Structure 1
């Protein structure tokens, strides 16, 4: 009877699947082939205030700089699409309720994936090579995750700049374990969007300035999460006109045919939506105190925006609400909120709301 031999790569991938990763692949630790494109993107200012994207540039563009003798990257993906009433497409408009980006409705993916990648590293040391070294990256270090994921066979680049898996869509998180093990790399993923331009046409702020090019300064996700200052006045209506997206945005993913056809609900309990991210009225969120915010969004990606950022977004969205309590809530925030950023956006929203009411009541 012949015995089958399991390779190191197969052992690693099998254990990664046991840890709950939906996709796993291996890429060689080599310099990025998109170095010039990335530098050009930064030089054009498309990163906005995300200055961290320009720090440690040489390390970011070359995984070999991240770990002594780095040879391979074990790249993983976890599905975060939760089975909700809206399905994988565009959510129904609920004028008085908040919409959180799908990735932010459950627990913080950084914590979930980081812990499991360290478990994978421990497995490698125990079962593969006791002298193996590794370093974990989960969207919090100088690594171009989407590029290495493409080279590891997990997906290809869509016109919305997302990584798309032909059988899974794009609703998944990425993480990587940089290691000094010399592993056999997988074939890079191949695929394309064809003539489809749904994402570009659907983006309400024109952030997708061309296929495969994003001006983050106009992206609702950037405006509601990464931007720490006032939202440009000309872009504020986009938050409420497209379903009150007060933390992140999924429009370019929701219209994607690959997501509409292939998305399946995640089996990961940590990524199931919390009640507050699934069913919250805007006026109630605007009343959150600092202690309440910390308690409600403990271990949540939403904490990145902090209270001031989230309530800034909520106030902005209320400018176009038909909630009978919106005007009183905005006036209270404009006069009494402890944060000047929230007060300014609440005052703007209150003025906008009153002007809309006046216009609609005019003969």
Structure 2
């Protein structure tokens, strides 16, 4: 079984293109291995990635391969292909052999030449193969609405022929853009935010804050389930479980009710920033969407982010809840996210939280807190797991 897989924006990377292609090859291999698919090779060829799947595997191997490749960021499309020699007669013969097993009344031939040294142009290949198909099958050509499309790609060593293209995720290979600390709450938004940044090639290292209350194990298990889904796209992940109850107790004692969520978030960001330094991560990622809850007004976002020096990326900032839910369902996190579990922030949200926190007031109150002590307190009991 042969597959020819194509990328999108990687083709625009100029002198760095090889680096991106090699990362994409690595990630394809990881996804195939994760799905227990055995392959002979995954290699770069001119303009695409060429894959050979080993024979004698389960009957559903094609469906498994489709699922594995559709989880790899960086791929724009892929096809299961038959190979022909770089002779027009062999290309025609292979085309007829493939179509012998197909039912169709109309068709078109669509040729792409990555090998510009081939002696026929793309239109000439279309015409030669198309005429042979008409003569052999007595079917009509329909360039606008064909029942069947025969795709032909002229490579350096072979021609690749297929009748079906599968869409990929696009984007960039995970890991190519560096590392980020992703705050993973267990709700709907944060897994989607992490997934969106994976699409831009970012490797996510997760941080989950939990309250040391009865039932916190449920929160852990829920987050691990979310990571198992996200690992379909990132393949392996690290997570820091950070106990937050003691920090919250200090804030409850010294911070006015309306500002407590602001302080929770500021300390969370500071803890995440410390973890980022240890992991050599360059940014923080959150699932915040402007205006969705009280802490996510523009004013409060600015006040919270002022606590840290690292950039904070919010890939969902312009989305509404319906759009976020649609993505969560598509990537497989939604059903897990709606399972009941304790959330250390929502446990202590006041009925009327501040929507326009004043930074000077926050900084004045913050002087009463030993912030370094709170950060150290949170980090002292961190548990780290690799999944």
Give the TM bin, normalised by the shorter chain: under 0.3
Q: TM-score, normalised by structure 1?
A: 0.26
Q: Is the strand fraction higher in 1 or 2? A: 2
Which one scores higher on RCO, CA 8 angstroms, separation ≥ 6?
A: 1
Q: TM-score, normalised by structure 2?
A: 0.25
